[in-house]
Amino acid sequence: MASTSTHGASSTSSNPRSYDVFLSFSGGDTRKNFTDHLYTTLVTHGIHTFRDDEELEKGGDIAADLSRAIEESRIFIIIFSKNYAYSRWCLNELLKIIECMTQKESMVVPIFYHVPPSDVRNQSGSFDDAFTFHEKDADQKKKGMVEKWRIALTKAANISGWHVENQYESEVIGQIIKTILRKLGKLGPTHLYVGKNIVGMDYHFGQLKALINIELNDVRIIGICGIGGIGKTTIAKAIYNKISCKFEGSSFLADVREQSKDNAGLLRLQNQLLDDTLAGTYKKKSSSIHEATHEIRDKLRLKRVLVILDDVDGRGQLDYLAGECEWFGSGSRIIITTRHKDLVAIYGANKSYEPRKLNDEEAIKLFSLYAFKQDVPREDYKNLCENAVKYAQGLPLALAVLGSTLSSKRGIREWESELRTLEKEPNREIYNVLRTSFDGLSRVEGEIFLDIACFFKGKDRDFVSRILDDAEGEISNLCERCLITILDNKIYMHDLIQQMGWEVVREKCQNEPGKQSRLWDLDDVSSVLTRNAGTKAIEGLFMDMSAQQEIQFTTETFAKMNKLRLLKIHQDAKYDHIMEIDGDVHFPQVALPEDLKLPSFELRYLHWDEYSLKHLPPNFHPKNLVELNLQCSNIEQLWEGNMRLKKLKVINLNHSQHLVEFPSFSMMPNLEILTLEGCISLERLPMDIDKLQHLQTLSCHDCSKLEHFPEIKYTMKNLKKLDLYGTAIGKLPSSSIEHLEGLEYLNLAHCENLVILPESICNLRFLKFLNVNACSKLHRLMESLESLQCLEELYLGWLYCELPTLSGLSSLRVLHLNGSCITPRVIRSHEFLSSLEELSLSDCNVMETRVLDHIFCLSSLKELDLSNCSLMVGGIPNDIYHLSSLQALDLSGTNIPYVPTSISHLSKLKFLGLGHCKQLQGSLNLPSSVRFLDGHDSFKSLSWQRWLWGFLFSCFKSEIQV
């Protein structure tokens, strides 16, 4: 048998895939026409092709060298023609091909040359005639072979291919060639180098698969967004390698940001896009970006293409490279990698994907691959690896760079030295990648980024925006550029991005912190303040006194800082800890000179815990002040005389126990938040409080000498929160309450002198929270409380007056009546308490069984506290099972004789409190959902002991804790 290939006959080879393509055909039908044209085109395109030149039928068997050629081929093109099935040689060849397809997952391309695919699939038409010929006088062995041929034909015909009937054969051959080239990876740059140490890619594939969804025939734009070094380009390359073969054309345009800095670079990218997607057939080179834009739109509008634009940072790049979906054919996918999430949104992307940081396991694996050339750390380096991984914070670039850097270090001491250095100075390779994002910011955005990096990481977004001159737009832009993230309305940034910001500030004045624009490092701050080395360059200074030995402030400490915008001398950690423990704040105060100078006209934010002076300095210029925080200060009066503070929005003087007088509110017309908690010497507020038309929060919590609340003459529609807890006020002026139209929170708890509440409270349409706990002198409550249809939380505990009807509060979620007298009128119906989730009747005196009737029908109730509640004989009624949502039931300290068996129907019950129920008898039939049971001092009798042992035994089989 003579055979030819693009490299001549071949009978042996050490390569298991010696041939790209194997042609199977009937020589008499197609050797000198279609097959010859196809073979010639394959060879022209550099495709290594095997073609059998002569059909030497030796009893129908395939010669050994031909069998080997089939085994050594990657793709099989089977040309089914009218007489194909008459050839036993062709049919045996087909059997071998189908066997390779099954075992080696080889690709089979069927071509139905002037025969319907159904004739091949069903062996009808000319194929039926051929099989009639084969089955004539066939013995049993041959019949078995005929059946195998039929199965092979059916399998081959079920594969998608080409039906050549009335088309131009050259067009069909062109399509076949493109398919083969794509499969072989010879059509465009179909394989990009991704790197040898890849971790976590399967996760990214899984997330992107649904977004890309190549099965759909629409045109999709997908954005991959994230900070520098997160792996966007690597992910895009891997995706390209995985799916580019499924498109008619594909192009990966790398480093778009760098390459398109001028029109010449942008034009090169446009021509590359055309050349890649048109498989080298686009010979024309456009001479302008406008001409190239037209060419892209014209040439690709009917082609299904994959285009990846890597590292895009400007809308103009998108406009000229992939302006609209209509530029591309159905099924096309455009993938954009960028640090700017807003670009993807503006461009109209269907979906965007933000790669997550590597988790600890993935991070250690990637770091180890670079540091040790294995996927786990060496045993003696484990702790150091953990430190390196902690520094990198899951950023793939940082892990790779650190691993490579440390791999060249000799011994543990050099590793330790390198890691210590990184705490003070960032790795330059990592820094340069991250610095690119900063360099792309506007001047204002850059300044705000540096303020956040140095001072406001982890702080409330609204607070930061307010302090930085209503910087909401800039904060949004930083978020869109992946430099910060917003979580629970707090601003966060990656530690390495923060370190990059620090380095930007420091690099302008190395070793001279007094000339930096911002001071946040404790050592630098201490050095500057101790040596009076501050200069006019300083715009922000934050110092945590709780972590610093005492510093002596002099008159001149801040004298040269005449551009100071942000000043915070604080003890946040200590303040938060003390408040959490007992709420009583006492700090040792640092003595300040009476003639302290704060000369800056630019000051926007002043926060000074334990400020020791009785007034602010006489040379203080609050013209631009936005927030003043002097908690735990020695302030008696903020300043003497009148100062106009048009920009002031927040004042916090909490726990300033010597404050006796507050300046006129008319001098601060834009004030939004005023908190005076714990100002125990303050006896009155200025009477012109209604001048504060922007006030949202007023807290006089625990101002124990405050006896009068000002009369409000004008509507204050913006006031949402009023906290008068623990004050000495005797009454609230009815007219004042009427003017608080937008009030949502009113706290009057522990106002022990409060005698009466105005009925006007019931007109507060938006009130959600009302607390009048422990107002011991209160004569009566408003009868029309039910009109508060927005009320969600109500606290009426430890009151000696009669409680009104509460059944009409349809929005109420939390109701506490602890220690008060409960009569049947309080909850007359359960139907209008459909939202109630938490009810506390602890220490209540329940004298009538009817009181509980409606309570035990509250199907929405999740928590019910009846501890120390006096219950009549009979205790808990059987219809407790109506509490179908109940999760916690506390009956501790009650005189109940038994727990009804119907409690077993409470399928969501997790906590049951029965401590100190000394009259409890019988046994308990608890639902299996119970996880916590408090029976302290209740289970003392012998019968209870027996029940308890049985119960404890069952606990070993469940998760119940006793």
Which of the residues are catalytic?
93
What distance in Å separates the CA atoms of residue 141 and residue 139, rounded to the nearest whole number? 6
What distance in Å separates the CA atoms of residue 265 and residue 940, rounded to the nearest whole number? 88
Quick check: 205 and 335 in contact, CB under 8 A?
A: no
What is residue 822's three-state secondary structure? strand
Q: Can you state the angle between helices 472-480 and 443-451, rounded to 10 degrees?
A: 90
Q: How far is CA 944 from the centre of its chain?
A: 52
Q: How many residues does the chain have?
A: 962
Quick check: 20 and 180 in contact, CB under 8 A?
A: yes
Q: What is 410-459 written as a DSSP string?
A: -HHHHHHHHHHHHHHS--HHHHHHHHHHHHTS-HHHHHHHHHIIIIITTS
- From the number of C-beta atoms within 10 Å of its C-beta (0-12, 13-18, 19+), residue 710 rates as middle
> What distances in angstroms separate CA 92 from CA 24, 82, 148, 507, 938, one per listed residue?
11, 17, 9, 76, 88
- Angle subtended at Cα 623 by Cα 622 and Cα 629, rounded to the nearest 5 degrees: 35
CB within 8 Å of 280: residues ≥ 6 apart? 188
Q: Can you state the angle between helices 411-424 and 382-392, rounded to 10 degrees?
A: 20
- Tracing tokens 């994002």 back to the chain, one arrives at 437
Tokens matching residue 207: 């997330």
What distance in Å separates the CA atoms of residue 273 and residue 286, rounded to the nearest whole number? 12
What distance in Å separates the CA atoms of residue 214 and residue 318, rounded to the nearest whole number? 22
Number of neighbours of residue 284 by Cβ within 10 angstroms: 12
CA nearest 249: which of 188, 200, 308, 295? 188
Quick check: 830 and 853 in contact, CB under 8 A?
A: no
CA nearest 921: which of 890, 951, 895, 883? 895
How many CA atoms are closer than 13 Å to the CA of 841, on its beta-carbon side?
22
Number of neighbours of residue 127 by Cβ within 10 angstroms: 26
CB within 8 Å of 554: residues ≥ 6 apart? 532, 593
What distance in Å separates the CA atoms of residue 344 and residue 339, rounded to the nearest whole number? 10
- Tracing tokens 């996760």 back to the chain, one arrives at 203
Q: Where are the beta strands (DSSP E) in 603-706?
A: 605-608, 627-629, 650-652, 673-675, 697-699
Quick check: 919 and 894 in contact, CB under 8 A?
A: no
Q: How far is CA 415 from the centre of its chain?
A: 34
Tokens matching residue 787: 């009109």
Q: How far is CA 42 from the centre of its chain?
A: 50
The phi and psi torsions of 197 (rounded to 5 degrees) equal -110, 90
Tokens matching residue 269: 């990218």
> What distances in angstroms separate CA 350 from CA 49, 209, 211, 343, 483, one per listed residue?
42, 14, 8, 13, 23
CA nearest 539: which of 411, 448, 643? 448
CA nearest 81: which of 19, 27, 23? 27
CA nearest 568: which of 458, 699, 456? 456
What is residue 716's three-state secondary structure? coil
